[in-house]
Structure 1
Amino acid sequence: MEIYKPILPPAIRTPIWRYAALVVLIVGSLLWILSLDPIAQNTAYHSFADTRELFGIPNFFDVITNLPFLIVGLVGVWFCLRAQVGAIRRAWIVLFFGVGLVSVGSAYYHWNPNNGTLVWDRLPMTIGFMGLFVALLGEYLGNRIAVLLLFPAVALGLATVVYWHFTDDLRPYLWVQLAPLLTIPAVMILFRSGYSHQWLLIVALGWYVLAKVTEAYDVAIFLNTQELLSGHSIKHLLAAAGSYSILVMLQRRKHLE
Structure 2
Amino acid sequence: MNRTQFINSAQRALLIIFSAIAALVAVWLLPPIAQDPAYHDFADRRGLLGIPGFLNIITNLAFLAVGVAGILLCTAREGLGARRAWLTCFTGITLVALGSSYYHLAPDNGTLVWDRLPMSIGFMALSVAVLADHVNPRLEKILLAPAIVLGLASVIYWHYTDDLRPYVLVQFLPLLLLPAVLALYRGAQQDRGFLLAALLIYALSKLAEHFDRVLFTLTGEIVSGHSLKHLLAALALFVIYWMLRRRSRPAESAVSS
Q: TM-score, normalised by structure 1?
A: 0.92
Q: Deviations over 1:13-54 (max 9, x none)?
A: 734322221111011100110011000000111000000010
Cα 1:87/1:244, change in 2 over 3 Å: closer
Counterpart of 1:42? 36
Q: Deviations over 1:204-249 (max 9, x none)?
A: 1111100000111101110111110000000000000000000000
1: distance between equivalents of 2:217 and 2:160? Answer: 36
- Larger RCO (CA within 8 A; separation ≥ 6): 1
CA contact (8 A) 2:77 2:248 kept: no
SS at match of 1:49: coil
Counterpart of 1:20? 14
Q: CA deviation at 1:94?
A: 0.7
Identity %: 48
SS at match of 1:197: helix
Counterpart of 1:64? 58
Counterpart of 1:157? 151
Listed as ranges, the matches of 1:158-177 within 5 Å are 158-177=152-171
Q: CA deviation at 1:196?
A: 2.3
1:110 alignment partner AA:
H
Counterpart of 1:140? 134
Listed as ranges, the matches of 1:80-91 within 5 Å are 80-84=74-78, 88-91=82-85
Counterpart of 1:216? 210
Cα 1:195/1:250, change in 2 over 3 Å: farther
2:72 alignment partner AA:
W
CA contact (8 A) 1:97 1:128 kept: yes
Q: Deviations over 1:100-149 (max 9, x none)?
A: 11100001101110000000000000000011000011011111111000
Q: CA deviation at 1:255?
A: 9.5
2: distance between equivalents of 1:97 and 1:89? Answer: 12
2: distance between equivalents of 1:180 and 1:189? Answer: 14
How many pairs were matched up? 246
1:131 alignment partner AA:
A
1: distance between equivalents of 2:74 and 2:238? Answer: 13
Counterpart of 2:71? 77
CA contact (8 A) 1:194 1:255 kept: no
Q: CA deviation at 1:69?
A: 0.2
CA contact (8 A) 2:81 2:133 kept: no
Q: Which moved more, 1:46-55 or 1:11-20?
A: 11-20
Counterpart of 1:125? 119
Q: Which has the higher helix share?
A: 2
Q: TM-score, normalised by structure 2?
A: 0.92
Cα 1:235/1:132, change in 2 over 3 Å: same
CA contact (8 A) 1:138 1:146 kept: yes
Give RMSD over aligned pairs.
1.7
2: distance between equivalents of 1:88 and 1:253? Answer: 12
CA contact (8 A) 1:12 1:141 kept: no
CA contact (8 A) 1:129 1:177 kept: yes
